[in-house]
Chains A and B, each alone.
Chain A
């Protein structure tokens, strides 16, 4: 019964989406206010129905109703509740339903927060949004229906891939989807603007908060995914340039570019057609990511069930949405009039450089990701892996980060390059001190790694110096500076926090790569290894029982200068449904970096009657924690910008004026 309610709600939601994709767009064309006014209630209706549908599926998972095929294939009675719930989107059908739900959520959010948008514009935005919805809802209903019943119902389910049973991964897909789908709003705004033939500062102000929100979620989603790889896979790495990872990085890069070019549109009424193109591209890359993940055209370590029929559907959908919007762009982009001019050295100039580097980086990732398939079409077999990306991506990131450090010091329109050294010299001092300290502390490293580290420190230093300049630190009294700091717009704080976060991420990456130490060996309980300044002893390995698995737990005692500073408990888990073995790394965060221990069963060379030897891998990764902290700061920075009054009150007042003038 519950499954049928969910199924039925899904069908009605599709019908509402069809109505929403036609009535408001037609109404906007014919200037029919009644038809246009339908868009909001339809968007709300769609959201509520999909909410019901999603709750039904969640309920089926919680009560383990194995008469539903999707639940049978992906769940199990012995699974902890958290993973019963996360199992809802841990599979293809459920994740598409989640996609559609989030899409409808954003539609409803536009209906609610967009009350002050001009009527035709809002109708067009929601109409376009509904067109995307029709695509995804019919995809769900016709190729990936989560509510199909099984008869007879099996007694027990097949279980969720234990690798996916991790808190980080439980929230990784929803976050990522909020980001992917959030970009659909920027896309709909871009299409509506092309239909209206009008892009102005006001448009940029409407688009920016949605893009910012999507960007925050994407940032969090990617960071959680990387965190999961670091903890759960036990490979000691956090990024593998896997196609599925690239699929999330590309929209992030494009969204970052969009975020910055929208500022130029808002402040200077220029770069309009470029910004509109970026909005289209960012969402297109989200769709492409979905295509890559769901169609199986590329080899990936991510073990998703893939199905060519679904691939054909998504590709067709991609073709209609992206192709259609780019044709519209080709025809209409020239109607968007460019605004003010600016010098090469200026704030706008810096943002243009930012866009160029980000666009080039997006292009290289896209090329590297699709190249194996491209070469295959011509009869060559190649795989593109980390060496390509490191060789191409990193050299693009370093100048980007340099511009990122200098850009905020430049004035709009025409920057004064002669005055720059006078303002930026403290950052140079901070850079030299920071780099000197790092090398004194950890020793020399390869030149490229030092360059990466220097770039990160330089970015962080320049953010601090720029912030200090804004609040007149050391130039007025401390109280005066405090007051200025409090009065600083949240947007300015947001930028500083996010940029500083990026600096921390870069420092964390560079330091953890440059100075990683590792020991890989076979050990008897009682044996010790030396890892830099630390002495680590495998004290014991015990067999224990978890909620739905049995596990071996190793106990490692960490000593420094003879004193015990930490105990690490890595695990090897043996799940029974499905039978799988996973490793849980044990990580002890020190100020200097993470100590990371993994244990593995080893049957080789064991002599009967003697104690068992264990495979032990130990790492010290300096400053890696800065990476997660930095990612969190970027998320917070985006949130701070989002809460800026300018984006809320300003929109409402200006929109009213615009409405009056229409």
Chain B
């Protein structure tokens, strides 16, 4: 049987594609790009959640320490799930944990929650308009970003959990340490 070369082309293209898909499956989708990847954080200046505390601006993210920036809200159930991990992270000296509170139903509730369960955040910005949330391209809360040397390098959509902590976040912090 005669096989013409151009009839083989589709299968060759497909095999190439399938190899990449397979490699892609093995890659960490958390590492794949999001619009802010390797970019400086967008400019913002937010007022505080609690009146007697400072707010949060993009300047705060640009210090020497690696910053973990968590978007949360007191009405968000998954945010409570990930709360212990943020508490643990907040005890480390090599990183700063900051929070942005998003569309609160009542500020008192949010403050009361952090008072009762513990406040992992060194600084909290209060984003009631969801303006800053838009700039960061959030799909929902919670989301967590890592900012290192003035660049956003990681985005976790949804709550932090054991696989993320063990296989991505903690090894990443360790690597950044070096």
A interface residues (Cβ-Cβ under 8 A, vs B): 273, 277, 280-281, 284, 291, 295-299, 301, 303, 306, 308, 311-312, 315, 318-319, 322-323, 326-327, 329-331, 333-335, 370, 372-377, 381-383, 385, 522, 574, 578-581, 600-604, 615
Contacts and interface: CB of A to CB of B under 8 A. Distances in A.
Nearest to A384: B33
B129 A326 contact: no
B145 interface: no
A604 B101 CA distance: 12
A377 B105 contact: no
Interface residues of B, number: 43
Given A318-B18, A322-B14, A602 B129 contact: yes
B7 A333 contact: yes
Nearest to B155: A299
A315 B33 contact: no
Interface string B1-38: 11110011011001101101111110101011111011
Contact of A326 (B14, B47, B103): B14
Given A299-B33, A376-B32, A327 B103 contact: no
B128 interface: yes
Contacts of A329: 7, 10-11
B65 interface: no
A299 B22 contact: no
Contacts of A373: 20-21, 24, 27, 32
A551 to B, nearest CB: 13
B20 to A, nearest CB: 6
B128 A604 contact: yes
5 contacts: A326-B14, A370-B20, A370-B21, A376-B32, A574-B105
B126 A301 contact: no
A311 B25 contact: yes
B33 A323 contact: no
Interface string B148-176: 00000000011000000000000000000
Interface in B78-120: 103-105, 107
Q: Which of A284, A315, A323, A373 has the most CB of B within 10 A?
A: A373
8 cross-chain pairs, A with B, having the tightest CB-CB distances, nearest first: A603-B128, A326-B11, A383-B33, A373-B24, A333-B7, A381-B33, A330-B8, A579-B75
A312 B25 contact: yes
Q: Which of A295, A299, A331, A333 has the most CB of B within 10 A?
A: A299
A323 B20 contact: no
B136 to A, nearest CB: 13
Given A296-B29, A297-B21, A330-B3, A381 B37 contact: yes
Given A373-B20, A603-B104, A604-B47, A315 B25 contact: yes
Given A319-B18, A600-B129, A602-B129, A372 B33 contact: yes
Contacts of A376: 24, 27, 31-33
Nearest to A603: B128
Given A273-B7, A315-B22, A334-B4, A579 B76 contact: yes
A297 B21 CA distance: 8
B122 interface: no
Nearest to B15: A323
Given A600-B130, A604-B128, A297 B29 contact: yes
A367 B2 CA distance: 32
A383 B15 CA distance: 24
Given A303-B139, A323-B14, A603 B107 contact: yes
Nearest to A306: B29
B29 A326 contact: no
Interface of B: 1-4, 7-8, 10-11, 14-15, 17-18, 20-25, 27, 29, 31-35, 37-38, 47, 75-77, 103-105, 107, 126, 128-130, 139-140, 157-158
Nearest to A158: B77
Given A318-B18, A330-B3, A381-B32, A303 B140 contact: yes
B38 A381 contact: yes
Contacts of B34: 299, 383
A334 B8 CA distance: 11
A284 B24 CA distance: 18
A578 B77 contact: yes
A370 B129 contact: no
B21 A291 contact: yes
A298 to B, nearest CB: 7
A330 B23 contact: no
A323 B20 CA distance: 14
Contacts of A323: 11, 14-15, 18
Contacts of B22: 315
Contacts of A372: 32-33
Given A303-B158, A373-B24, A579-B76, 8 more contacts: A297-B27, A318-B21, A329-B7, A334-B1, A334-B3, A373-B27, A374-B24, A602-B129
B29 to A, nearest CB: 6
Contacts of B1: 331, 334-335
Contacts of A296: 29
Q: Which of B3, B29, B31, B128 has the most CB of A within 10 A?
A: B29
B72 to A, nearest CB: 12
A370 B17 contact: yes
A374 to B, nearest CB: 6
Contacts of A382: 33
Contacts of B103: 581, 600-601
Contacts of A602: 128-129
Nearest to A273: B7
Q: Which of B18, B22, B33, B158 has the most CB of A within 10 A?
A: B33
Contacts of A574: 75, 105
A331 B27 contact: no
A606 to B, nearest CB: 8
Contacts of B130: 600, 615
Given A333-B7, A334-B2, A376-B31, A301 B18 contact: no
A273 B1 CA distance: 16
Contacts of B37: 381, 383
A615 B25 contact: no
